[in-house]
Structure 1
Amino acid sequence: MNNSESYPPDFRRVINDGDSPATAEVEPVLVQDKDIHIPVIDFERLDKDMLTEACREWGIFRLVNHGVPLALTSQLQEISESLLSLPFENKRELFGAVNSPLSYFWGTPALNRSGDALKRGTQAPNVSMVEGFNVPLSKLPASTCCHDDAQHLKLESFRVLMEEYGMHITRVAVSLFEAIAQTLNLDLSGDRRSQYLSESTGLIRVYRYPRSSSVDEAAGEALGMEVHTDSSVISILKEDETGGLEIMKGEEWFCVKPVANTLIVNLGDMMQAMSDDEYKSVTHRVKKKDMTRERHSVCYFVFPQSDCVIKSSKYKPFTYSEFQAQVQADVQSLGTKIGLPRFIPTSPFFLKERA
């Protein structure tokens, strides 16, 4: 069990005093302890009809036979947990080195383009109980270890494992995107595929949600990650056995239980826009029920090229860089992401901006 000194100061107050962090109000009510079985897709035999239904009706599915080595994911989880268990100030120093592409964040999943936590608007929750490392894959090869102390050597091992994992997970993402694009009859000729899904944008975030044996038992849960949709084309999650992922289906929340040696794939806002809203960017959050255990997860996100124009009958044309800038502006001013509704010509958000 990790010492509380490894947690950010805001987390220690919650852990030691039992004060639940302030959280945003959410309209739909969680169906307590009600699990849901999301669709299962076999990566070795991608079935077009099953993939179409999963994307259209769910926006999320479980991937089996994905080919990512179990030994690799086990090693990555072990070293990630070891790095996250370092004292808080050590993590800040280790991942805050000049010219390092890696960064450490805590208290919010909303990051700027450099991977640092965004300053939130006053309407945001005070703190989300999550911390982690941001890893832009395209910049990893340029990162080298120039120290021989134990922590920097461990960081170098982490970098090497991330490179290998990144190659595997990028392969999975590209194959899945091409299969999904075929179900939509998207034109991938020329350089369109690399514009829609740019491997150079791929990044990985390693998350830790802390334990808290003294949190208010009446609440029975702690908000690790607030309600959101991903801004990506595709996100691919590898989680431990602790659980906590919840998705919105209809107007209710359901728990998605972890299953060993599988990946969870969810569609992001860019995929929804490309599909003319035929496919869904799933709304999700993380709420821990087991306060005595930490939750660890690794998520890969991939986006369009920054200047790729997303055209849709539902939205005004926009580039991914415009979308990203709008999301960050909303988080900083309002405390939350608005996302795609900002680009619907008939939406109140769109009309207000032009009033």
Structure 2
Amino acid sequence: MASSEQDPAPAHELVSYPPFFLRCNATAAGAPPPPPPPRAISPVDVVAIDLQRLDAAALGEACREWGLFRLVNHGIPEVLKAEIEAEARRLLALPFDAKAARFACPGIDYFWGTPAGNLRLKELNWVEGLHIPLAHLRSDSSAVDFDGFETFRNLVDEYGRHMARIARTIFDAIAVNLNLDSKMLSSYLLEHDGTFRIYRYPKCANADDYLAMEAHTDSSILSIVNQDGVGGLQIRRNDGWFDIEPISNTLIINLGDIMQAISNDEYMSVEHRVSVNESKARVSLCYFGFPTDSCSISSSGYRKFTYKEFKMQMQEDIKAFGSKVGLKRFKIDAQDA
């Protein structure tokens, strides 16, 4: 008899899971799970933007109304995505102890439960992955040394160059729409020094009780998400949650907090989360484009701050409250206006 998609994971897959995930997947009841997150209502169609024929009006509307859009004709070879996904699945299928040991070095970090490094969020996320600062990966060829890593490094480097091209093209078009100071454009986006993260969301027997990634906004200028076919990305819109379905050979572009600030709230940093799948693991490739640390953000709705100050405040809030407060910390109160 053929096995169903919900059969237990094979032993070699289970040894790759963080121990906490194994305990939560066990049939024996332990501590009561957290309250179930609100479920998404239905899939929603988001605006599609053609990178080869950028429509300034359509781009501006998507940024104002949605805070994200689907990108087509982006020029990333499908074979490159497939190769990175295959390498990512291979590396993340290593035994948990091996991952924790092999990636405990400069240039690439293994994380689980939260992508926030040593900062612990108040709710555990059902996620593990690799955090890769692209500039560091290129400059330090000895960061990680084990079988097959050089292949992975070369694939990520090629992919990162595509991300830089796409991020710069989109940001420059947005800058024209917002009439941003041309002298600030290189400070607003360090596209070649972006962060690349590979997320693996293991399947979860208690999928309704956990989130793969809790609701949040990104702290970037923009983020570029390349989903696999499993799905799970959701956005908040009109007080409800909606699924962003994966469509082959397209990307999802999220606007981040810093984009919202420099646009003086004309463009929105979209709140999003990731749901857990009961029967399939999910892999997502994500690029984050940031400003320089010294970049000064100034607009009528916010007190003047640098990106370094924003990061430091975010880290302090996570330490204190288990989650970031974000742009609210820098908003000018009505009595101060």
**TM-score, length-scaled by structure 1:** 0.87
Q: Does the CA contact (< 8 Å) of 1:105 and 1:117 recur in 2?
A: no
Q: Deviations over 1:37-63 (max 9, x none)?
A: 011000000001100100000000000
Q: Tell me how far 1:193 sits from its aligned partner.
A: 1.1
CA spacing shift, 1:135–1:156, aligned 2, 3 Å: same
Q: Does the CA contact (< 8 Å) of 1:306 and 1:319 recur in 2?
A: yes
The equivalent of 1:168 in structure 2 is 162
The equivalent of 1:203 in structure 2 is 195
The equivalent of 2:16 in structure 1 is 6
* 1:268 is the counterpart of 2:246: no
Amino acid aligned to 2:81: T
Pick the aligned partner of 2:27 from 2, 17, 36. Answer: 17
After TM superposition, the runs of 4+ consecutive aligned structure 1 residues lying more than 4 A away are 18-26, 145-148
CA spacing shift, 1:322–1:13, aligned 2, 3 Å: same
Number of residue equivalences: 325
What RMSD over aligned residues (CA atoms) do the two structures have, in Å?
2.1
Amino acid aligned to 1:155: F
- Secondary structure in 1 matching 2:230: coil
* 1:106 is the counterpart of 2:112: yes
Task: List alignment gaps of at least 5 residues for structure 2.
Answer: 1-9
Pick the aligned partner of 1:239 from 214, 227, 247. Answer: 227
* 1:318 is the counterpart of 2:305: yes
Aligned pairs for 1:148-187 (under 5 A) are 152-187=146-181
Q: Deviations over 1:40-94 (max 9, x none)?
A: 0000000011001000000000000000111111100000010000000111111
Aligned pairs for 1:1-355 (under 5 A) are 3-17=13-27, 22-23=33-34, 29-32=38-41, 34-97=42-105, 100-109=106-115, 111=116, 116-120=117-121, 124-125=122-123, 127-145=124-142, 152-189=146-183, 192-212=184-204, 214-215=205-206, 219=208, 222-288=210-276, 290-346=277-333
Amino acid aligned to 2:43: D
* Partner Cα separation in structure 2 for residue 237 and residue 168 of structure 1: 13
The equivalent of 2:4 in structure 1 is none
Amino acid aligned to 1:279: Y
Task: List alignment gaps of at least 5 residues for structure 1.
Answer: 351-355
Q: Deviations over 1:198-239 (max 9, x none)?
A: 125401010000012x326xx3x6300001000000100001
The equivalent of 1:353 in structure 2 is none
CA spacing shift, 1:204–1:22, aligned 2, 3 Å: farther
Amino acid aligned to 2:135: S
Amino acid aligned to 2:323: T
Amino acid aligned to 1:167: R
* Partner Cα separation in structure 2 for residue 246 and residue 146 of structure 1: 34
> Which 10-residue stretch deviates more, 269-278 or 338-347?
338-347
Q: Does the CA contact (< 8 Å) of 2:302 and 2:330 recur in 1?
A: yes
- % same residue: 44
* Partner Cα separation in structure 2 for residue 143 and residue 153 of structure 1: 17
- Secondary structure in 1 matching 2:148: helix
Q: Does the CA contact (< 8 Å) of 1:310 and 1:320 recur in 2?
A: yes
* Partner Cα separation in structure 1 for residue 154 and residue 301 of structure 2: 42
Q: Does the CA contact (< 8 Å) of 1:96 and 1:104 recur in 2?
A: yes
Q: Tell me how far 1:345 sits from its aligned partner.
A: 2.5
Amino acid aligned to 1:119: R
CA spacing shift, 1:10–1:200, aligned 2, 3 Å: same
CA spacing shift, 1:21–1:264, aligned 2, 3 Å: farther
CA spacing shift, 1:24–1:46, aligned 2, 3 Å: farther
CA spacing shift, 1:228–1:18, aligned 2, 3 Å: farther
